[in-house]
Structure 1
Amino acid sequence: MGTQQPPPSDYNGDNMNNNNTLDEKSAKQKAIDAWLPINSSRSRKWWFSAFHNVTAMVGAGVLSLPYALSELGWGPGVFILVFSWIITLYTLWQMVEMHEMVPGKRFDRYHELGQYAFGEKLGLYIVVPQQLIVEVSLCIVYMVTGGQSLKKFHDTVCSSCKSIKLTYFIMIFASVEFVLSHLPNFDSISGVSLAAAVMSISYSTIAWSASLAKGVQEDVQYGYKATTTPGTVFGFLSGLGDVAFAYSGHNVVLEIQATIQSTPERPSKGPMWKGVVVAYIIIALCYFPVALIGYWMFGNSVKDNILISLEKPAWLIAMANMFVVVHVIGSYQARIEQLFFLLILLLLLVLDWIPD
């Protein structure tokens, strides 16, 4: 005796209801995607991938790499720096490959990839909270860094002027970000991102070339600064954190690739990967000279920001700090675009509203 199937009429009715539900969900998602486009036209070339990735990866954290080496030591520090470069390049390649791993589907955002991997609800619960923590934390860091660099610029070019609190410089930086935050989507910040990429290369070059020009300091020492075992261990862990922070650009990879044109004959992963390779060559040219030359010149007396250790010439340090400001403006926008999208998407889902 077998299990009876439902009557044909009921069976067909259930199928039709399921199909209608799926069609409604698909139509709603398409309407939301059309109303909140991640880009304007998906027509960007590989060089857009290159400078977007430079902007996303190279941050003010590069200026703390000499200090990280002072906490890690020559051997472990160089190994961790190079290994981090290799492993993050490999994981970025994985992200590029997964962007179009399902035929006819592009995973433009992290939560979409999470939903494919873990399910519609579980994927959101796993990915979105972590993504929000990362994005909000980075935006706070960039806000403070931008304010600090503005203050350093002011104090350097006008040392006789009245001292101004850091809070006001952070507010000035936030005002600029408020205006730029009105740009509608990720693709529209390309000009800001390009300027940020150029600035990151510029201040990195200033950092290592000025250190080299200053020369090895007298009585330079390369041992650990901590005099106790716990101090050495915690310093080592802090150095690991500094290096990890310097390689924190993966959270916008899918959005960058979403701006690139893709066809069945020429999928987006080709030009995207080309741009990534170029970006990582630039990253290596920024990170390794700053870290190695900075630590070589100053040893374990190097400050947590290499520009502070340099001090002179004043005009060059002022210029480098302004370059940092321009760069973190672009990096902030790259992160805040994701945050805006997640917040608006949450409102749309809560309100159950389909855009016209």
Structure 2
Amino acid sequence: MGVAEAVSSDNTPLLLTPPHPLKRTGTVWTAVAHIVTGVIGSGVLSLPWSIAQLGWLAGPFSILIIASCTLFSAFLLCDTYRSPDPEYGPDRSASYLDVVNLNIGVKNGWLCGLLVNICLYGFGVAFVITTAINLRAIQNSICYHNEGPEAACEFVDAYYMLLFGAVQIVLSQIPNFHNIEWLSVLAATMSFTYSFIGMGLSIMQTIEKGHAEGSIEGVIASSGTEKLWLVSQALGDISFTYPFSTILMEIQDTLKSPPPENQTMKKASTISVIVTTFIYLGCGCAGYAAFGNDTPGNLLTGFGSSKFVWIVNFANVCIVVHLLGSYQVYGQPLFATVENWFRFKFPDSEFVNNTFILKLWLLPPFELNFLSLSFRTAYVVSTTVIAMIFPYFNQILGVLGSISFWPLTIYFPVELYLSRSSTDAWTAKWIMLRTFSIFGFGFGLFTLIGCIRGIVTEKIG
């Protein structure tokens, strides 16, 4: 089974593409499901805390600005999927790494590939940890409800992580990104469910109080410097709940044509950003109105009374199901990168290239490849083990997200667009795009410093 690749004049491989033609059947709505699954995570429940730090004006305004920047960046990236010149390389770029390699050089491609794969792997570890936290919250809630608030309810996260890992070993054998549409639809439905539960509970509490909490300036800090760091962390939290550039090319590669993939992807991106922004504003503002300056870091933890215990537990179950899909949405691109590299390096290896059809009783036939089986199992095991060893990895992920925010969400899309459009220097468009990139760099640096300080402060405290 051969591997298709683009080569430079000195026969240096520029990118790797899938080893056999793919049947692309994706539509606007399957793309929306993929994006929503990747973007709306349990982080939406921390947005009320972020708005609490920024206040009633700056909080919603920040969400709208970051949403607009994300959509603009996605539009820039959508137009780079197809090659403008048949002799320039393959017609399609199936990954972020491919399109960077082809348009702005191999060195940029190495940097892009490093950052993308670190982020994808980091998200995998974070999903394992977050799942364990939510499963433990469910168990604690049931224990306290049955045995009273004074009961010694202690549960070990490692067991939940192992359970999540076992399920992911099975799900990871799904052949590729094109085959997880059903999982993304299920996960997206779950994300809407727990977001609306958090929003609904907040609205109910606000109605019971008879007034909305909060203020224009947000939480009052002990000093101006402390307020600055809180704002930095809040903006970082908001910005990390939006970008989907690391998986945009893989999503676009699932779309059928006609119509042109970039048109479909722009529609899907627009719908997704509008939907997520509505949910983010609704959940964030409703949570802040319910709790004011006492808004918790996770909105659901604010509803600890027995009156809401079962609905909160159901929301946590929805989060767990959503994370099952999110793990695959971020894992499948990494699987494809590694496995295509092996196929390129070892084109004659039966272990790497041979695919078998396995038929088990009561189950439909499915493909089995020994490379995929071994590598993907090892990948899931490694993310699970790291999550068990470093249960506070989510804090480190915030730093990684800050470091990668500017290059992946701003810099590369701008450079790709400028390279493809041949925009002249110092024209109005060139100045606008460069200003956008410089602003993104400053924003990413500001949130990075805030994330690092937050970790240091928490460790000292």
What is the TM-score when the length of structure 1 is the normalising length?
Answer: 0.84
Structure 2 counterpart of 1:182, one-letter code: Q
Which range moves more in the overlay, 326-335 or 222-231? 222-231
Equivalent position SS for 1:33: coil
Supply the distance in 1 between the matched residues of 2:114 and 2:10 (Cα, whole angstroms).
28
Runs of 4+ in 1 over 6 A off after TM superposition: 20-26
Is 2:259 the partner of 1:277?
A: no
Alignment of 1:42-53 (within 5 A): 42-53=24-35
- 8 A Cα contact 1:109 1:255, kept in partner: yes
Instruction: State the match for 2:298 in structure 1.
Output: 305
Supply the distance in 1 between the matched residues of 2:170 and 2:84 (Cα, whole angstroms).
38
Which range moves more in the overlay, 301-310 or 155-164? 155-164
Instruction: State the match for 1:112 in structure 2.
Output: 98
Is 2:67 the partner of 1:85?
A: yes
Structure 2 residue corresponding to 1:246, chosen from 225, 241, 245? 241
- 8 A Cα contact 1:116 1:123, kept in partner: no
Supply the distance in 2 between the matched residues of 1:242 and 1:297 (Cα, whole angstroms).
20
> CA 1:106/1:245 → structure 2, altered by over 3 Å: closer, same or farther?
same
- 8 A Cα contact 1:69 1:78, kept in partner: yes
Instruction: State the match for 1:15 in structure 2.
Output: none
Supply the distance in 1 between the matched residues of 2:38 and 2:332 (Cα, whole angstroms).
12
Instruction: State the match for 1:155 in structure 2.
Output: 140
Instruction: State the match for 2:196 in structure 1.
Output: 205
Structure 2 counterpart of 1:165, one-letter code: V
How many angstroms does 1:237 deviate by? Answer: 0.8
Q: Deviations over 1:1-31 (max 9, x none)?
A: xxxxxxxxxxxxxxxxxxx9969778x978x
- 8 A Cα contact 1:99 1:107, kept in partner: yes
How many angstroms does 1:240 deviate by? Answer: 1.0
How many angstroms does 1:250 deviate by? Answer: 2.2
Equivalent position SS for 2:321: helix
Q: Deviations over 1:198-228 (max 9, x none)?
A: 0011111101111000116699454424212
- 8 A Cα contact 1:59 1:246, kept in partner: yes
Equivalent position SS for 1:34: coil
Is 2:113 the partner of 1:131?
A: no
Supply the distance in 2 between the matched residues of 1:202 and 1:124 (Cα, whole angstroms).
38
Which range moves more in the overlay, 205-214 or 282-291? 282-291
State the superposition RMSD in angstroms. Answer: 2.7
Structure 1 counterpart of 2:283, one-letter code: V
What is the TM-score when the length of structure 2 is the normalising length?
Answer: 0.66
Greater share of helix residues, 1 or 2? 1
Instruction: State the match for 2:316 in structure 1.
Output: 321
Q: Of the two, which has the highest radius of gyration? A: 1
Supply the distance in 1 between the matched residues of 2:348 and 2:99 (Cα, whole angstroms).
23
How many angstroms does 1:344 deviate by? Answer: 2.4
How many angstroms does 1:153 deviate by? Answer: 1.6
> CA 1:21/1:243 → structure 2, altered by over 3 Å: closer, same or farther?
closer
Supply the distance in 2 between the matched residues of 1:242 and 1:353 (Cα, whole angstroms).
47
Structure 2 residue corresponding to 1:65, chosen from 32, 36, 47? 47
Instruction: State the match for 1:14 in structure 2.
Output: none
Is 2:58 the partner of 1:76?
A: yes
Supply the distance in 2 between the matched residues of 1:219 and 1:90 (Cα, whole angstroms).
34
- 8 A Cα contact 1:64 1:306, kept in partner: yes
Equivalent position SS for 2:180: helix
Equivalent position SS for 1:158: helix
Supply the distance in 2 between the matched residues of 1:142 and 1:29 (Cα, whole angstroms).
29
Supply the distance in 2 between the matched residues of 1:52 and 1:103 (Cα, whole angstroms).
29
Structure 1 residue corresponding to 2:339, chosen from 335, 340, 344? 344
Instruction: State the match for 1:10 in structure 2.
Output: none
Greater RCO between the two (CA within 8 Å, min separation 6)? 1
How many angstroms does 1:290 deviate by? Answer: 0.3
- 8 A Cα contact 2:206 2:212, kept in partner: no
Equivalent position SS for 1:78: helix
Supply the distance in 2 between the matched residues of 1:343 and 1:205 (Cα, whole angstroms).
38
Q: Deviations over 1:128-156 (max 9, x none)?
A: 11112211221122111111111112222
Structure 2 residue corresponding to 1:194, chosen from 185, 200, 203? 185
Which range moves more in the overlay, 69-78 or 140-149? 69-78
- 8 A Cα contact 1:148 1:170, kept in partner: no
- 8 A Cα contact 2:212 2:290, kept in partner: no
Q: Deviations over 1:286-335 (max 9, x none)?
A: 11100111111111101111001122411100000011111111111111
Instruction: State the match for 2:373 in structure 1.
Output: none
Instruction: State the match for 2:435 in structure 1.
Output: none
Instruction: State the match for 2:169 in structure 1.
Output: 178
Q: Percent identity?
A: 25
Q: Deviations over 1:165-204 (max 9, x none)?
A: 1222222222211211111100111111110000011111
Supply the distance in 2 between the matched residues of 1:248 and 1:136 (Cα, whole angstroms).
16
Supply the distance in 2 between the matched residues of 1:326 and 1:53 (Cα, whole angstroms).
16
Is 2:230 the partner of 1:235?
A: yes
How many angstroms does 1:81 deviate by? Answer: 0.7
- 8 A Cα contact 1:147 1:172, kept in partner: no
